[in-house]
């Protein structure tokens, strides 16, 4: 069995720096921000369809959910990682629809992040 030389060995407690993820720090100034529970992409798209100001052109946004999920775009924050051109390439979305979805996703994510 191969052993690392003593100079390369680290104490076990320092070996995994992120091993305390999820534990609350003792210093409140160093408290980690609460994780945001972003909506599932299918639920969020359904919300767009029922929003009179966002769906004034009667687009069936939930129709894109399956294609987004197939590409492992699961939640609102995932949408923010893509451009409208990316969404067009991944789905059958037209550029105008993709641009609106990207804009609204950024706005809604920002609103959730600031709560």
Please state, in angstroms and rounded to a whole number, the distance separating the CA atoms of residues 49 and 60: 6
In a domain, 85, yes or no: yes
With respect to residue 41, please indicate whether it lies within any of the assigned structural domains.
no
pLDDT of residue 35: 84
Residue 110, pLDDT score: 95
pLDDT at position 13 is 42
> Residue 40 forms beta bridges with which residues?
75
pLDDT at 115: 79
CA 11 to CA 14: how far, in whole Å? 6
Could you please report the per-residue DSSP string of 76-93? Answer: HHHHTTS-HHHHHHHSS-
Q: What is the pLDDT of residue 14?
A: 42
Pairwise CA distance, residues 106 & 77, whole Å = 8
* d(C-alpha 115, C-alpha 112), whole Å: 5
Q: What is the pLDDT of residue 75?
A: 97
In a domain, 77, yes or no: yes
> Using CA atoms in the order 14, 20, 25, 31, what is the torsion angle rounded to 10 degrees?
110
Count of domains forming the chain:
1
In terms of residue numbers, what domain contains 86?
50-113
Per-residue pLDDT of the chain (115 residues; tens, 9 = 90+): 444 444 444 444 444 344 444 545 555 555 555 588 999 999 999 999 999 999 999 999 999 999 999 999 999 999 999 999 999 999 999 999 999 999 999 999 999 999 7
23 falls within a domain: no
Kindly state whether residue 27 falls inside one of the protein's structural domains: no
Quote the pLDDT of residue 29: 56
């Amino acid at each position: 069995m191969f052993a690392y030389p003593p100079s390369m060995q680290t104490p076990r407690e320092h070996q995994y720096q992120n091993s305390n993820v999820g534990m609350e720090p003792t210093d409140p100034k160093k408290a980690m921000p609460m994780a945001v529970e972003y909506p599932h992409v299918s639920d969020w798209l359904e919300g767009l369809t029922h929003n009179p100001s966002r769906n004034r052109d009667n687009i069936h946004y939930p129709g894109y959910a399956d294609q987004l999920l197939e590409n492992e775009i699961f939640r609102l924050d995932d949408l923010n990682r893509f451009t409208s051109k990316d969404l067009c390439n991944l789905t059958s979305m037209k550029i105008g629809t993709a641009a609106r979805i990207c804009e609204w996703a950024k706005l809604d994510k920002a609103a959730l992040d600031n709560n």
